[in-house]
A and B are shown apart, each in its own frame.
Chain A
Amino acid sequence: MTATSDREQMAYVAAQAADARINVELDTGDMTLNIGPQHPATHGTLRIACRLDGEQVVVAEPIMGYMHRGYEKLCEVRTYPQCTTLINRIDWLGSFANEVPFILAAERLMEVEAPPRAQWIRTILFELSRIANLALFLGDMGVQIGALTPVFFAFRDRERVLNQIEEVTGGRFHPNFDRIGGLKDDIPKGWIDETRSVMTKMRTFCDEMEDLLVGNEIFQARCRGVGVIPGDVAVGYGLSGANLRASGIDWDLRRDANPGLAWDQIDWRVWTHPDGDSFARYWVRLQETREATRIVDQLLDGIPSGPIMAKVPRIIKVPAGEAYVSTENPLGEMGYYIVSKGDLGPFRVKIRTPSFNNISVVPWVMKGVYVPDVITILGSLYFILGDIDR
Chain B
Amino acid sequence: MTSLLALPYWQETAIKLGLALAVIPATSLILVYLFLFKMMAFMQSRLGPNDTGPYGSLQLIAEAIKFLQKEDIHPAQADRRVFRMAPVVVLASTFLLYVVLPAGPDAVVQNLDTGVFYAMAVSSLSVLGILMAGWASANKYALLGGLRAAGQLIAYELPLILAVMGVVVQAETLNLQGIVEAQATGEIFGFGAIGNPFILTQFLAFLIFMIAAQAELTQTPFDMPVAETELVGGFHVEYTGFRFLLFFMAEFGTAFAFSALAAVMFLGGWWIPGFDVHDNVLNILGPGVMLAKILLIAFFIFWIRFTYPRLREDQLQKFAWKVLIPLALANIVLTGIFKVVF
Given A40, A142, A152, A374, which contacts B309 in the complex, CB threshold below 8 Å?
A142
In the complex, identify which listed stretch (B52-60, B184-192, B205-213, B220-228) lies at the interface while the others stay far away. B220-228
Residues of chain B within 8 A of A222, CB atoms compared: 309-312, 315
* B: number of interface residues (CB 8 Å): 29
- CB pair B309–A370 under 8 Å, yes or no, is no
Closest Cβ neighbor of A212 among chain B residues: B307
Q: Is the CB of A31 within 8 A of B140?
A: yes
Which residue of chain A has the shortest Cβ distance to B41 in the bound complex?
Answer: A152
Chain B residue contacts of A142, Cβ below 8 A = 309
Cβ of A153 < 8 Å from any Cβ of B? yes
Contact with B along A129-164 (1 / 0, CB 8 A): 000000000000011111111001100100000000
Given A55-B144, A152-B45, A372-B224, A144 and B313 touching (CB < 8 A)? no
Contacts of B315 on A, CB cut-off 8 Å? 221-222
A219 at the interface (CB under 8 A from B): yes
Q: B220, A221: Cβ atoms under 8 Å?
A: no
- Measured between beta carbons, the chain B residues less than 8 angstroms from A148 are 40, 44, 220, 305-306
Docked Cα-Cα span, A219 to B230, in Å, equals 16
Indicate if the CB atoms of B40 and A146 lie closer than 8 Å: no
Say whether chain A's binding surface is mostly helix, strand, loop, or mixed. Answer: helix
Which chain B residue shows the least CB distance to A147?
A: B309
- When distances are taken between beta carbons in the complex, the residues of chain B under 8 Å from A374 are 230
User: What residue of chain A has the Cβ atom nearest to residue B310's Cβ?
Assistant: A146
Report B-chain residues with C-beta under 8 Å of the C-beta of A24. Answer: none
For B310, list chain A residues within 8 Å (CB): 145-147, 218, 222
| Given contacts A39-B232, A41-B230, A372-B230, A218 and B314 within 8 Å (CB-CB) | no
Q: List CB contacts (< 8 Å) of B217-246 with chain A.
A: 220-221, 223-224, 227-232
A375 in the interface, Cβ–Cβ < 8 Å?
yes
12 A-B pairs with CB atoms under 8 Å apart are A145-B309, A146-B227, A148-B44, A149-B44, A153-B44, A212-B307, A370-B313, A371-B231, A372-B224, A372-B313, A374-B230, A375-B229
Known: A146-B220, A147-B307. 15 other contacts (CB 8 A): A31-B140, A40-B228, A145-B309, A146-B223, A147-B309, A152-B44, A153-B44, A212-B307, A213-B309, A222-B309, A222-B311, A222-B315, A370-B312, A372-B313, A375-B230
* B residues whose Cβ falls under 8 Å from a Cβ of A: 40, 43-46, 140-141, 144, 220-221, 223-224, 227-232, 305-315
